Amino acid sequence: MEEVAYAKINLALHVRDKRPDGYHRIETIFAFAEDGDRLSVGESEALRLEVGGPFAAALEGKNLVLRAAEALRARFDVRHGAALFLDKRLPVASGIGGGSADAAAALRLLGRWWGLGASEAELLSIAASIGADVPACLRSRTAIGKERGDELEPVKGEGLSRTPLLLVNPTVPVSTAAVFAGWDGADRGPLLDAEPLEAALSGRNDLQDPALKVAPTIANVLAALAEDANPIIVRMSGSGATCFALYGNETDRDRAACRIAAEHPRWWLLATCLR
């Protein structure tokens, strides 16, 4: 069996304040690409994980896939093992939910592999214990995230499914903790209560300025994406350094991807669509 760990983007990300538990209270619009890492499973008496793919070397030690697998096994008292293989295609520490998406994929995949019949509510409870973005990644559908990002609300309207999307990363890892630590503490207001694209266009990413201080090259990525007149929106995702653009058609997306790849051959690009 195989499962896709769908890349996550934040169409907008508003940081409202800091909670007493140390987390930040946010309002964000989650959306997901059709592509991402790949997680597969086979028979094994023990629970084990092998990592390959272009970004395998960037992962060190025990990652969220095994943590999710162990939490699921403990919750349902599973005595079986599983041989997991993670094809790591997304950059690490890049603001597109790679680790969270991998953990969510493990929950979905092993729930089927072990025949658990787990409800979404049960899986969401486990997901929330692993990380703030894991519940959204478990569903991997456009949604509003509040508080830590784990309180999910459905979006208004028909959503953005099949909207052409281009992801670009300058291959510079960015520490989420460092970016949040650089937030200036100013509450610039809530998300607009509207359909996802309208809310995103009127919104912002409050982590973009502190991320630019950590990785100034993010400005180059944003400028490269904005160079064409055709993007619907250009913005940084999460805490960076990945930035994205949405397009009205695949031709405009592919033209931008070809230009950026030629001008910046060391950057990582993914031309895809929203789910």
Domain ranges of the chain: 2-153, 164-273
Which residues, 6+ apart, have CB-to-CB distance to 86 below 8 Å? Answer: 37, 38, 39, 49, 50, 51, 52, 53, 56, 63, 65, 102
Catalytic residues: 8, 133
| CB half-sphere exposure, 240, CA atoms < 13 A | 31
pTM: 0.96
Q: What is the pLDDT along the chain (275 residues), one digit of tens a residue?
A: 999 999 999 999 999 999 999 899 999 999 999 999 999 999 999 999 999 999 999 886 658 999 999 999 999 999 999 999 999 999 999 999 999 999 999 999 999 999 999 999 999 999 999 999 999 999 999 999 999 999 999 898 767 999 999 999 999 999 999 999 999 999 999 999 999 999 999 999 999 999 999 999 999 999 999 998 789 999 999 999 999 999 999 999 999 999 999 999 999 999 999 99
pLDDT value of residue 62: 58
Beta partners for residue 26, in sequence order: 15, 147
Residue 234 CB neighbour total at 10 angstroms: 20
Q: Which fold has domain 164-273?
A: Alpha-Beta Plaits (3.30.70)
CA distance 71 to 220: 40
Q: Is 29 helix (H, G, I), strand (E, B) or coil?
A: strand
Q: What is the CATH code of the structural domain delimited by 2-153? A: 3.30.230.10
Residue 163 CB neighbour total at 10 angstroms: 20
Q: Is 148 helix (H, G, I), strand (E, B) or coil?
A: coil
